Amino acid sequence: MLETDFLVLGSGMAGLIFALEVSEFGKVLLVTKKEDTESNTNYAQGGIAAVFDPEDSFDDHGEDTMRAGAGLSNGEAVTIMVSEGPRLVKELRDFGVQFTKVSQESATAFDLGMEGGHSKRRIVHAKDFTGREIERALVATTRSKPTVRVMENCLAFELITEGNRCLGAWVLRRGRLEGILSKITFIATGGCGRVYCHTTNPKIATGDGVAMAYRANAEIRNMEFMQFHPTSLFGREIDGRKLLISEAVRGEGGVLRTQRGETFMEDYDPRGCLAPRDIVARAIDNELKKSGEEFVWLDLSSIGARRIASRFPQIHNTCLSLGIDITKQPIPVVPAAHYVCGGISVDLHGRTTVENLYAAGEAACTGVHGANRLASNSLLEALVFSERAGMHARERIGKKMTHPTIVPPILKEEELGRETIERLCARLRKVMWDYVGIVRSDERLKTASREIGALRRRIEELYGAHRIAVSSVELRNLVTVAHLITNCALWRKESRGLHYNLDHPERDDLHYKKDSVADR
């Protein structure tokens, strides 16, 4: 058994910020599923929403966040996030993040972008590869800390618990099991977009942290609020994921059009193409169902070729490599699963309902996003609440390590076949896409619940009978997350934010202005 003071599961922004925050207070072991830069953070194009414009205010940012959250955002958490955000964005700059500035001569003035749902320009960015640039700087800083050890290509597959206390985790490393005992365990494993057929998430986004925490009896809430990004590139995938076409493209003047060339967003919301993501995604979905077509156009002609190439170099170059010159052609786009607003219940210090277990980032539910996340608030939330979790956790590190009797899982001889895993995965994702997607109904959700229940029983049976492997663990986690999303969606008999039910099309504040909590 390995021992450490702080065990960090995940190497996106949340995990790295937490590791840096606690690195002066004890030994840190950071376990990451792939290489240290592979995470949803790495694919965040837009930026970080924060108040820097003199015409902007914390109140304005808070009101935009609460409005997008459709009545479910935690006001105290929102206030903390918007007020602490600018200081921490400056700290990222001090870590070496090269944010885009107003001019080359300016040392401090950020070039602020505009995105849907925001009333002011407040998107701090590094062109259109903000996440990658943040990840680069944080990884370099983390690796310079002598107290931080990084274990790459390791899969944490189960938490070690005693009663309601977390004592660490079991990790699969190079086909071997390793137990890690820790005084504090921090989950920063990111999202679960791979539970759907079409997603902007990388292959590692299989909901591992949420599933592990659920099996450890942590409270899970608001999983029905899965955000479908309205604009992903149609017809092409990169390593199994849809190319995200950033919200900022519409913020700079990009216009959505049908294949007949007609605009349509003004029919759905007075903010048009700058409406929040849930509204835009449903509008596109509805237009496609009406027309029978497979995509709509995102027209960038009003932005201008020079501005497109300078502001969106990654999108421009990637699309060009796929045969689309976005300085001359519109982009074919469709919605794709992008971000889950629910997750492991945490308080304002990142504490879960299990003792010594903390969480932040997309795996956690602070209450900031409510029923729908405002664009570019994801990196901000991860930044603020990972720091708060680290500050709280480091105060508890003086306690002694407990050494309970721990029985390791038994490694069976035979692994579950790849074809079986791929077949079950494909079936699960199709069920989720068809029945628990952008538009839902009671009957669709009941059908999904039955099918997921049968898949879950079969997968648990196969998992228990075969050797533990990365692919079988991920499959088990995906079906667990599918159960949680569907479970929460069945409970909410209304339409709110990202959850739209044809049988209950109105918002019902009397009965459902509250968080969903997943059943056992």
Catalytic residues, by residue number, are 277
Contact 59/331 with Cβ under 8 angstroms? no
Q: How far is CA 205 from the centre of its chain?
A: 8
Q: Give the SS3 label for residue 5.
A: strand
| Token pair belonging to 517 | 């909590």
Smallest Cα–Cα separation from 71: which of 488, 498, 519, 437? 498
Q: Are strands 176-187 and 165-173 parallel, antiparallel or unpaired?
A: antiparallel
Is the sign of the CA dihedral 48, 21, 139, 220 positive or negative?
A: negative
Q: Whole-angstrom Cα distance, residue 165 to residue 513?
A: 31
Q: How far apart are the first and last CA of the chain?
A: 30
Joined tokens for residue 228: 């479908």
3-class DSSP string for 111-178 = CEECCCCCCCCCEECCCCCHHHHHHHHHHHHHHCCCCEEEECCEEEEEEEEECCEEEEEEEEECCEEE
As a whole number of angstroms, the distance between CA 227 and CA 233 comes to 16
